[in-house]
Amino acid sequence: MPDRSPASPVRRAAVVLVAVAVTIALVRAFLLQSFVVPTGSMEPTVEIGDRVVVSRLSSLFGDVQRGDVVVFNGAGVFDDTDPGPDTLLGRVGRGVAALFSMPVGSHDYVKRVIGLPGDHVVCCDDQGRITVNDEPLDETYVADGDRPSEVAFDIVVPDDRLWVMGDHRSDSADSRAYLGSPGGGTVPLDRVVGKVAGIYWPLSRFGGLDDGSGR
């Protein structure tokens, strides 16, 4: 006989709620995540307290482009912490945490991709511009009053790695700060969480990001 006890509808509702929560967590873990930006290293493009949506599709399908703003796990790259294995449970946990737009750990960084694998990235030419493969970058996104870089560098980005920088160049600990580290400050592609698709909060800043392409 069917269970007609008063608790049955409650149990069914609980099962539905759990299924919805797991689905949302999986979507966020594998497709979308939400982050609160805790520092000013990407100002004025992304400001302290901005809530951003991060698409994981670019990292899943290897479609990271120069000019993209990405979130990546810098453990063991920008600090000395062992990142540990990238497990399904870990990704789901990040998704659940991101459900509430909380900063996920102290090892997640938001920076702009300046150099792709194989790129020759140099600072600076005689006009003070960063060049990539001998072509100067028109960096419209750099914070007012900042130079493209106060630190000179000349690097060929290794295979499967990225050279990244913050838009607030005078207040960003990015690839330049780790030139003497293994990898020369570059970030492994497999550490990229995803591309920042845009800002959704506060509403006054709602919209996409300048990728420097003029589009």
Tell me the pTM.
Answer: 0.77
Q: Whole-number mean pLDDT of the chain? A: 82
Residues 86-104: tens digit of each pLDDT:
555 555 555 555 444 444 4
**Which residues, 6 or more positions from 66, have their beta carbon under 8 angstroms from its beta carbon?**
113, 114, 115, 116, 119, 132
| Average pLDDT value for residue range 198-202 | 93
Res 181: pLDDT: 86
Domains of the chain, residue spans: 33-83+99-205
Catalytic residues, by residue number, are 41, 111
User: Among residues of the chain, what percentage have pLDDT more than 90?
Assistant: 53
Residues 22-40: tens digit of each pLDDT:
665 555 555 778 889 989 9
- The arrangement of strands across the sheet holding 120-123 comes to 135-136, 131-132, 120-123, 153-156
Quote the tokens at residue 77: 């790259």
**Has domain 33-83+99-205 been given CATH number 3.30.420.40?**
no
Res 56: pLDDT: 82
